[in-house]
Amino acid sequence: TETSARYKRVLLKVSGEALMGKGSFGIEPQMVEAIANDVADVSRSGVQVCLVIGGGNIFRGVAAAAKGMDRAQGDYAGMLATVINALMMQNALERAGIDTRVMSAIQMSSIAEPYIRRRAVRHMEKGRVVIFAAGTGNPFFTTDTAAALRANEMECDVLLKGTQVDGVYSADPRRVPDARRYDELSYMDVLSRDLNVMDATAISLARENRLPIIVFNIHAAGAFASVMRGEGRFTRIIE
């Protein structure tokens, strides 16, 4: 198909916030299901898909540190939050008929496989959707950085960042009505203008390996599949 010709293997980063729905905390099962169905369609079209799920809907180390908690300890709690989200996503994907594996950067052998790079690749070659949990396994990092890291390790053709808006804007479009959406940006544009896309560590990792990033609205039905076909609205970040 045209889809599989365009991309062979992709990584989708889903933030924890995307799973909250209308709430301000936790998980709304319908949101997880909607995203899982979109992922299932792309997987069935023959594209190898892996996911990195954030944990910000449950716990963020930085926020806990602001209230006096030890930062590293808070970050470990944040990484565990991503595992909860990963298990929810795994279940939703399997209900959609997709084979999945959760691979955790922090060993948790009763519920997830340990992350082993070559094994992850093998899972994807067999058509399984691999969900990377527990971020990078290190405090002081984010799941955006984990996404850039894993996408490079998996030799993905593109890193997709599913957000609440349909691309990168000059300002927050929900607050600034005449904010402008970019079709294309360079890694340096994002870094030097401090555009709110992914943290600088993630952008730098992508830049060093010329990994293209696509930012799109994860909440538009079928958006992931459309972006895979090169349709719809999104921002591309390339050299």
**Which positions touch ligand UDP (CB under 6 A)?**
15-17, 54-56, 60-62, 74-75, 78-79, 81-82, 135-136, 138-139, 141-144, 146
CB 190 to ligand UDP: min, Å: 17
Nearer to ligand UDP, 62 or 238 (CB): 62
Residue 15 assigned to a binding site? yes
Nearest by Cα to 86 from 144, 129, 150: 129
Residue 142 assigned to a binding site? yes
Long-range contact pairs involving 38-42 (C-beta distance under 8 Å, separation at least 24): 38/218, 38/221, 38/222, 38/223, 38/224, 38/225, 39/12, 39/93, 39/96, 39/98, 39/129, 39/224, 40/93, 40/96, 40/97, 40/98, 41/222, 41/224, 41/225, 42/3, 42/10, 42/224, 42/225, 42/228
Residue 8 assigned to a binding site? no
Nearer to ligand UDP, 3 or 138 (CB): 138
Nearer to ligand UDP, 98 or 202 (CB): 202
- In angstroms, rounded to a whole number, what is the distance separating the alpha carbons of residues 30 and 70? 34
CB 83 to ligand UDP: min, Å: 10
Residue 163 assigned to a binding site? yes
Residue 75 assigned to a binding site? yes
Nearer to ligand UDP, 34 or 146 (CB): 146
When CB distances to ligand UDP are compared, the closest residue is: 54
Residue 55 assigned to a binding site? yes
Nearer to ligand UDP, 104 or 142 (CB): 142
CB 230 to ligand UDP: min, Å: 25
Residue 167 assigned to a binding site? no
Nearer to ligand UDP, 66 or 111 (CB): 66
CB 53 to ligand UDP: min, Å: 7
Query: 106 phi and psi, to 5 degrees?
Result: -115, 125
CB 93 to ligand UDP: min, Å: 18
CB 77 to ligand UDP: min, Å: 7
Binding residues for ATP: 13-16, 56, 60, 163-164, 169, 172
| Residues making up the binding site | 13-16, 55-56, 60, 75, 136-143, 163-164, 169, 172
